[in-house]
C-alpha cells in the first residue's frame, strides 16, 4: 500500500519531533554543545579569566601570541597547563606574576617547565616560601631572568601591554602588585592582582592611565580594593572577580559589589560563571562564560 500524502506528512513530523527530542536530551546532558568556547586559533584576540578557585590567572591571546598573568595556586591536576594546551598554545611570549603570593604563583614553576616562555616579569620584592623558591629554581634552569616589570611596555600580537607599579613598594605584598593594562583597538582590560586601596591611591597620584572596559577586580573582590576614586578612573563596563566557592574570606565582599554596581551591572565571578572569556575585534567585546555553555 502506498502511503497517502497526509500520512507521509504525519510520519515526517513524527521523525522531526523525535530528532528534536533526542538533540534536546543530548544538549541537556552535555553530549552536544552548540556554544563551544572559542579556540585560541580562531578567536582573534581574547582575554580569558581562568577559573582557578581562590586565586588569579589571566590568559591573553592575539595573532598567534600569548601572555599569561598569574597562575593560580599549585594544582597537582595541572588544570591551567591542560587548559592552555587545549587551546593549541605551546609558547608564552611573557609570563607576568603580579606578586609572589602562592595563589598567584603556585603553578608558575610547572608552567615554565611545560611551555617555552620568552620573558618572566615579577616585582622586585622578596617572595614567601616554597612556591617562590620553586619559581626561582625553574626559571634558573630555563635561563629565564626575573625581570622587574616597572614601567614595562610591549606588544603581544595585536595587544599593547603596559605595567604599572607604585614608585615605592610597601611591605604588604598585595600592594606591590603589578597592575597590567591591555589594549586592543578601542578595548581595554585592567588586571590588578591583589592591588588594594593604598596602591590604588599611589597609582592615581602617579597619573597612571587606568581606563578600561574590563576590570579584573583587585584582591578577589575584597572590600579593601576597588575604591570609588579608582573605579572613577577606570570606568569599567564589565568587571570580573576571581574567587573560589565558599572561600574562607567571604569574597567577593558586598561593599565591593555595591561600588562596582555604580559603574556596571555586568559583573562576573569565576565562582559562579567559571572561566570568563572576552573576545575583542578592536571595537566590540563578546563575552563567553564556561558555565553558560
Domain boundaries, the chain: 1-34, 37-292
Mean pLDDT of the chain: 89
| Cis amide leading into 252 (omega within 30) | yes
- Alpha-carbon distance values, 231 to 128, 164, 191, 218, 260 (Å): 30, 16, 13, 11, 8
C-alpha cell of 77? 591536576
- Specify the pLDDT at position 4: 52
- Specify the pLDDT at position 10: 52
- The answer to whether the beta carbons of residues 242 and 52 sit under 8 Å apart is yes
- Specify the pLDDT at position 28: 43
Could you report the per-residue pLDDT of 265-292, keeping only the tens digit for each? 999 999 999 999 999 999 999 999 998 7
Q: Which residues pair with 287 in a beta bridge?
A: 278
- Specify the pLDDT at position 293: 56
Find the Cα–Cα–Cα–Cα dihedral 244, 246, 250, 255, rounded to 10°.
Answer: 70
Question: 606588544: which residue's cell?
Answer: 155
* DSSP-derived secondary structure letter, 258: H
- Specify the pLDDT at position 37: 57
The CATH homologous superfamily to which domain 37-292 belongs is Ribonuclease Z/Hydroxyacylglutathione hydrolase-like (3.60.15.10)
- Specify the pLDDT at position 31: 34
CA angle 213–215–219, rounded 5-degree value? 175
C-alpha cell of 194? 591583589
- Specify the pLDDT at position 20: 41
C-alpha cell of 113? 617547565
Name residues of the chain where pLDDT drops below 70: 1-43, 293
- Specify the pLDDT at position 292: 72
- Specify the pLDDT at position 40: 60
Amino acid at each position: 500500500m502506498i502511503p497517502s500524502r497526509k500520512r507521509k506528512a504525519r510520519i515526517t513530523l513524527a521523525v522531526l519531533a523525535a530528532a528534536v527530542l533526542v538533540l534536546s536530551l543530548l544538549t541537556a546532558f552535555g553530549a552536544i554543545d552548540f556554544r563551544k568556547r572559542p579556540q585560541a586559533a580562531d578567536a582573534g584576540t581574547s582575554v580569558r579569566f581562568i577559573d582557578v578557585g581562590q586565586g588569579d590567572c589571566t590568559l591573553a591571546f592575539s595573532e598567534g601570541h600569548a601572555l599569561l598573568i598569574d597562575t593560580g595556586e599549585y594544582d597537582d591536576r595541572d588544570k591551567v597547563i591542560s587548559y592552555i594546551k587545549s587551546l593549541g598554545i605551546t609558547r608564552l611570549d611573557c609570563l607576568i606574576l603580579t606578586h609572589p603570593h602562592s595563589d598567584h604563583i603556585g603553578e608558575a614553576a610547572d608552567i615554565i617547565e611545560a611551555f617555552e616562555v620568552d620573558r618572566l616579569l615579577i616585582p622586585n620584592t622578596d617572595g614567601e616560601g616554597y612556591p617562590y623558591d620553586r619559581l626561582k629554581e625553574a626559571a634558573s634552569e630555563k635561563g629565564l631572568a626575573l625581570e622587574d616589570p616597572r614601567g614595562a611596555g610591549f606588544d603581544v600580537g595585536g595587544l599593547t601591554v603596559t605595567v604599572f607599579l607604585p614608585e615605592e613598594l610597601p611591605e604588604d605584598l598585595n600592594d606591590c602588585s603589578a597592575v597590567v593594562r591591555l589594549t586592543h583597538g578601542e578595548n581595554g582590560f585592567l588586571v590588578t592582582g591583589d592591588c588594594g586601596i593604598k596602591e590604588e591611591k599611589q597609582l592615581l597620584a602617579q597619573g597612571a592611565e587606568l581606563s578600561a572596559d574590563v576590570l579584573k577586580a583587585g584582591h578577589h573582590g575584597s572590600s579593601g580594593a576597588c575604591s570609588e576614586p579608582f573605579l572613577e578612573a577606570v570606568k569599567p563596563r564589565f568587571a570580573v572577580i576571581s574567587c573560589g566557592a565558599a572561600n574562607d574570606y567571604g569574597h567577593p565582599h558586598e561593599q565591593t559589589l555595591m561600588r562596582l554596581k555604580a559603574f556596571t551591572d555586568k559583573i562576573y565571578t569565576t565562582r559562579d560563571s567559571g572561566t570568563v572569556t572576552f573576545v575583542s575585534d578592536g571595537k566590540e567585546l563578546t563575552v563567553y562564560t564556561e558555565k553558560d555553555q
